[in-house]
Structure 1
């Protein structure tokens, strides 16, 4: 066995033991190669097969005309998958962010967060621009003025939330008043009408007053904020915080083991998730003929952004093949397509990014939970298209100011969009309120959301994964520069940094690499100042 540099899906990983290639391995038969391929990719093959079998199963069961109760029983295995994935979200997000924030010094954390936020904002703004441009080119709402909720037999969706209150709720949810409640509830503004005074002519005057309420749904934004701050606080404690960091590291690793077990149930769950959705479909022909241009515009926007724009950004920053990187993420993409939930896809995405693409644990476990919460490129595309669609439906000519408002509001409000199925519908209401359009046509979006939301979620999680790959590449390049400029004077420090970076290689990594834990050897009598200097070296991010 010898240590060599190894490249995993376009990412160089050092320090992995690579066995010497024997002559026999070169003479493997086609049967042996096929067997090796199946063993290496069996989970991916099973997951994709689950989708295909689910489609066929759904079409067969659809002809049986099941009752609603029977459809619920049929969907039970898929429901179990969603419950297992949601069960693991809170410990995964909290522990991975605490561990990630504690494994980087404050300067590293600030630079890492700055690059990530810039990437998320730029890609979401580009996505919003693509959505608006496609809506004006394809014009999905032109000529559909006669289309309304009654034509399709849909229930109306109403919302009376003010735009200002929507953004204030976003800020409030960043700092939850109760962490336990934040795991299953979030803050939402409601309104009540109160009598303020009698009018001068004897009539009663009423005023709409905002009132805080708790709505069902995890406040993952607040959990992310708390976990990051708590991780930084543990880092500042020094030795006193080491034991708690060890606890979160161990909890994190145990959670990833649970994820690896759940992954083997994913093909079965996906099969029934997809099948039950097909059984539940109403008159698809009527929906597609009525809203076909809207569906086409949304999916085309997702294809352009996910297939061209994001890979180009990745290639421009890393000079590596983006499709080689994405080929290792077929399982989480399939999970995203079936579940329509960025949060539910997070466990499998984290596992595949680390094991298949060799992305540093500290980066993936820090950036992916944040991305699953705030990076919603796919949602921004369909929200902008929906807003312009409803304007065209109501024969409203949008001016430059309203178009600019759509872009900014969609980019900002997508941050607060819940990473759950149909989570972006309420966000569209915020955009409509901001440009003064009626919200009574939202039910049209909800009718086809189960179609559009699948490609939306795939693009959302693709943006998160490529962001983690870009940050990993930037970190590697900067560390190379550090080694080159270090010279002979800092060689001992650089050697320790190299050893630690090699320990982070994620192909077969078994330990969490918090610098507070791994760097201080029993025989190390160096001063605290020396440790602080090394902390600054371990990651230029």
Structure 2
């Protein structure tokens, strides 16, 4: 028998948690069930998993962003190509989060759930700030204090500045760059270790939720999933393909026909990084993009272009805010857009990292991180879809950059067959 994938295990944990939670729901007030099963075992398993995710937020954000931004020294070497690529990725990420926030506010997937039944926790909702203060606060006066307090926008700014400093110094700080690269590998391995116990954590979190809420939790979760998928569909079909048609003059059907193998790999692995080889081969062999351009845009996209993750974060923020009865202000929405967009730079393209980034975004707008418990179980399902959207954006960006650089692309639906 083939070894089950982590996605399969998490899905089993999700389904088992729903079933077991519904079984416990009628017995939720029985002392043994309330005190030992729900109040001890389920709470212990779920809380430890959530705390493990919280533990990695600051080191992952700072180290990965420093590594990612230091690698962007290639932008100077490639000149126009670097500016176009980075501009495309940041622009589409901002568009993605705006689409997500719009969809989530219209559909309101969190309606019907109340935090009173989920977790008794102290809310730490921050007072709304004027937009000018939000911009001023991006620059930290004490970066160490920012890390201790978990002020993510300030951490992002300091990480980007550190990365740019490493780029300017070049070989003089090669050992420091190596240290950051090794630290990045270490943090990602720690994330992988934590994700190995994710099925158990998901089981505990979902069981505890459904044992408290019963069937009332099912419809909001379904609405949350459909909202994320709908926003991903709109972004992938209209934003990306609209830009592709406008600049490259390519038929979207032709694009998807040629790019389907890469999308399949991304969907099955839930990893932009793991899909880099097949994405590179596809844009070079099927579309005729030069190696000099694709070898820059595709790896950079796997690091910078996290539009699918940004969409999930936008919908999740609105969903969790509704559950906890928090009215988000325009300043909060701006903070979400800035944080999610900037956080996309250097975010590792590996399964599970989206939840770490979501913890960061929730902390930035003052929402309880415990709200992740509600969506943890279904996130791996959505992770596959949003990864497919991410690598689609990588390919579209590559084609647009190649076209604007004067390259001749293969826009036909079929490859020409050589005749002997």
Shorter-chain TM range is 0.5 to 0.7
**Could you say which residue in structure 2 is the equivalent of 1:161?**
150
Q: What TM-score does the superposition give when structure 1 sets the normalisation length?
A: 0.49
**Could you say which residue in structure 2 is the equivalent of 1:120?**
89
Q: What SS does structure 2 have at the residue aligned with 1:342?
A: coil
Pairs within 5 Å for 1:27-42: none
Contact 1:170/1:416, CA 8 A, preserved across alignment? no
Residues in 2 aligned to 1:184 and 1:288: alpha-carbon distance in whole angstroms:
42
How far did 1:448 drift?
1.5
How far did 1:476 drift?
2.0
Could you say which structure has the higher helix fraction? Answer: 2
**Could you say which residue in structure 2 is the equivalent of 1:451?**
381
**Could you say which residue in structure 2 is the equivalent of 1:416?**
346
Q: What SS does structure 1 have at the residue aligned with 2:286?
A: helix
Contact 2:335/2:364, CA 8 A, preserved across alignment? yes
Q: What TM-score does the superposition give when structure 2 sets the normalisation length?
A: 0.62
CA distance 1:147–1:304, change in 2 (3 Å): farther
Residues in 1 aligned to 2:103 and 2:284: alpha-carbon distance in whole angstroms:
35
* More contact order relative to length (CA 8 Å, sep ≥ 6): 2
Residues in 2 aligned to 1:105 and 1:150: alpha-carbon distance in whole angstroms:
50
**Which protein is bigger by CA-based radius of gyration?**
1
Residues in 2 aligned to 1:148 and 1:357: alpha-carbon distance in whole angstroms:
53
CA distance 1:172–1:186, change in 2 (3 Å): farther
**Could you say which residue in structure 2 is the equivalent of 1:303?**
233
Pairs within 5 Å for 1:141-540: 141-146=110-115, 161-163=150-152, 164-172=154-162, 175=166, 178-186=176-184, 215-217=187-189, 288-476=218-406
Q: What SS does structure 2 have at the residue aligned with 1:416?
A: coil
How far did 1:323 drift?
2.7
Contact 1:356/1:507, CA 8 A, preserved across alignment? no
> Aligned pair count?
299
Residues in 1 aligned to 2:109 and 2:388: alpha-carbon distance in whole angstroms:
23
Residues in 1 aligned to 2:175 and 2:376: alpha-carbon distance in whole angstroms:
32
Residue 134, structure 1, aligned to residue 124, structure 2? no
Dislocated runs of 4+, deviation >6 Å: 283-287
Contact 1:149/1:443, CA 8 A, preserved across alignment? no
Contact 1:184/1:217, CA 8 A, preserved across alignment? no
How far did 1:310 drift?
0.6
Structure 2: gaps of 5 or more residues: 1-6, 17-67, 121-147, 167-173, 192-197, 410-414
Structure 1: gaps of 5 or more residues: 1-53, 64-93, 152-158, 188-213, 220-276, 481-505, 509-541
Contact 1:182/1:218, CA 8 A, preserved across alignment? no
CA distance 1:470–1:166, change in 2 (3 Å): closer
Please report the RMSD computed on the Cα atoms of aligned residues, expressed in angstroms: 4.0
How far did 1:441 drift?
1.1
